[in-house]
A and B are shown apart, each in its own frame.
Chain A
Amino acid sequence: MNIVVCMKETPSTTAEKSFSPDMRLERRKEDAIPNPFDEYAIEEGLRQQEKHAGSTVTILCMGPATATDTVRKALAMGGDRGVLVSDDALAGSDAISTAHVLAAALKKIGFDLVIFGNAAADAYGGIVPSATAELLGAPLLSYASKLDVDGSTATIERQADIGYNTVAAPMPTLVSVVKAINEPRYPSMKGIMASKKKPLDTFALADLGIDPATVGAAGAREKALSAEKVSTQRKGEIFIGNEGAADRVVAFLVEQKVL
């Protein structure tokens, strides 16, 4: 089985965020890490590879030229090779452009199973998996908390308000995963050393036959207008009294869907 995991390079969640005058997130190489949500996708790819002998795992990333380091970080967890799509014309790409590029790269690489994290920790768009599937004309099994591949069918469980839904699709298919699906492994010392020697190809737009005018800032349909710091305010609610307080706490928790 040819497994491809799509991985975005994002700034570390603790890094100070700043924006350029044209409202692009400024990305510093030192802060770059594999998108934390994609670690679950990588882990799932590796587990499927372990279950299905003879499978290969490719890490696919669209990002700046320096993202090779981030792809190698992902390869330290495991996987056979990396593919980075990088081109100056891609700077400022929106989600739809990204999907176009990933779809073209996936066609070039070939795939049976493509796994995404369900969003990226920088913009939280969460559109790329479905847009890529649409452009490829392939099914998407989204928000998977469990994945089984059996012959030519992939089956997922998707968490619902109560219990979960079971959804299946014929292969080749795309899957996006949520954190509940697994516990990503820590890269081993051997994995880190081996990652330096794994093949890593870099594609430019020309390699994928994409017109630079349709992607990047030039082709962007999304435009960021402003950014503000989120201020989180904790509002505490205190239930006082010996009588009825417990019931009110329970009612509150039920209302919040915690219980």
Chain B
Amino acid sequence: MFFRLSDEQREIQHAVRDFAQHEIAPHAERWDEESYFPRELFRPLAEMGLAGLLVSEELGGTGLSRLTGAVIYEEIGKADMSTAVWLSVHNMVTGLIAKFGDDEQRQRWTPRMAGGEMLGAFALSEAHAGSDAANLRATATRDGDSYVLNGTKFWVTSAGVADVYVAFLRTSDDGARGTTAFIIEKDTPGFSIGKRERKMGLHSSPTGELIFERCRVPLANRLGAEGEGLKIALSSLDGGRINIGAIATGVAQAALDVSTRYAQERTAFGRAIGGFEGIQFMLADMAMKVEAGRLLVYQAAFKMDEGDPVGQYAAMAKCFATDSAMAVTTDAVQVLGGAGYVRDWPVERYMRDVKVAQIFEGTSQIQRLVIARALLGDAAKER
């Protein structure tokens, strides 16, 4: 059993940390305050090879392992969760086009996406269909050699700032096989952006609605076969969960780092607050949660790289790492006291940001469901 990243992985970790701490972290507070989406970061991230993580070199990507990806997302999450989230969505979408697209689609989109020219977004959720993602209402109707799209997508990360959207729409009533994936470029007639959500956190990653009104999309923009949509969406699930677990681990580590330094420096009753057992135990618990979450994330990523069945491990990693990160960031605010509650310190932002990690890519409840079903088999099925 190996508990050590390879030399290459550690070098990548070091390079990404260097970049994230210099080019992202110093701005995160202002971006949050102004709900500013830093598009200017996209090109440099791509130049480093971080915009095509799941794409082969021939298509302009870097084709790195999931474990290396987890290391990368942790470092970016440590600097700014918003950036890590839109980047991971972009990488997922670019990866889907590379994996399920035909040659023409691959050549048309992946090099420009991996190269930092076109940003990708992923549109599955609808107002009434989040956890219950098979229950889609937005439709695509075949008309000659094109499809006509109608309906609204909710909660789309990078809505309005992305250039390429992979959206899942209903093409028939045939349950799981009634969904089809489409690639839609931003200026397509009949496609518009609805309201931008005003969120608790994750301010510099815009989230919003996509509206399709008799939006005509050529057959050449259908990703995969008709009816394959849900399969395509679900294929990204395990990897996406591991990534969110990694990002949350990064945020938790950042919160622990700030709390530890603060406890060494802040004095009360004539001593550093780190001298009080109440603070010591809180920090010790935080550190355990961060380490355990990271190990579960690394393990799930490793299994995925090995080609092992990973569903329940990805669910465990995502659920544990994000629940832990929520607890750790909440305690970080506590360790800093009043300073923790004000925006001069980053921990309140960490706490606001990381909450959503327990919600998207499958809520913590859904993850537990996945784990329980793997444990119980038929006994877990509803009657």
Contact = CB atoms under 8 A, between A and B. Distances in A.
A34 to B, nearest CB: 12
Nearest to B18: A186
Interface of A: 69, 73, 76, 186-190, 192-193, 196
Contact of A76 (B11, B19, B57): B11
B48 A188 contact: yes
Nearest to B20: A186
A192 B8 contact: yes
Contacts of A186: 15, 18-19, 44, 48
Closest 3 CB pairs of A and B: A189-B49, A189-B62, A188-B49
A130 to B, nearest CB: 31
B113 to A, nearest CB: 16
B15 A196 contact: no
Interface in B22-81: 44, 47-50, 57, 62, 64
Interface of B: 7-8, 11-12, 15, 18-19, 44, 47-50, 57, 62, 64
19 contacts: A69-B7, A73-B11, A76-B15, A186-B15, A186-B18, A186-B19, A186-B44, A187-B15, A187-B48, A188-B15, A188-B47, A189-B12, A190-B49, A190-B62, A192-B8, A192-B12, A192-B15, A193-B62, A196-B8
Nearest to A195: B11
Contacts of A196: 8
Contacts of B62: 189-190, 193
B305 to A, nearest CB: 16
A189 B50 contact: yes
A192 B19 contact: no
Contacts of B15: 76, 186-189, 192
B13 to A, nearest CB: 10
Contacts of B50: 189
Contacts of B8: 192-193, 196
Contacts of A73: 11
Contacts of B12: 189, 192
Contacts of B48: 186-189
Given A76-B11, A188-B15, A189-B50, 18 more contacts: A73-B11, A186-B15, A186-B44, A186-B48, A187-B15, A188-B47, A188-B48, A188-B49, A189-B48, A189-B62, A189-B64, A190-B49, A190-B57, A190-B62, A192-B12, A193-B8, A193-B62, A196-B8
A197 to B, nearest CB: 11
Instruction: Choose among B11, B49, B50 the residue with the greatest number of A CB atoms under 10 Å from its CB.
Output: B11
Contacts of A190: 49, 57, 62
B378 to A, nearest CB: 44
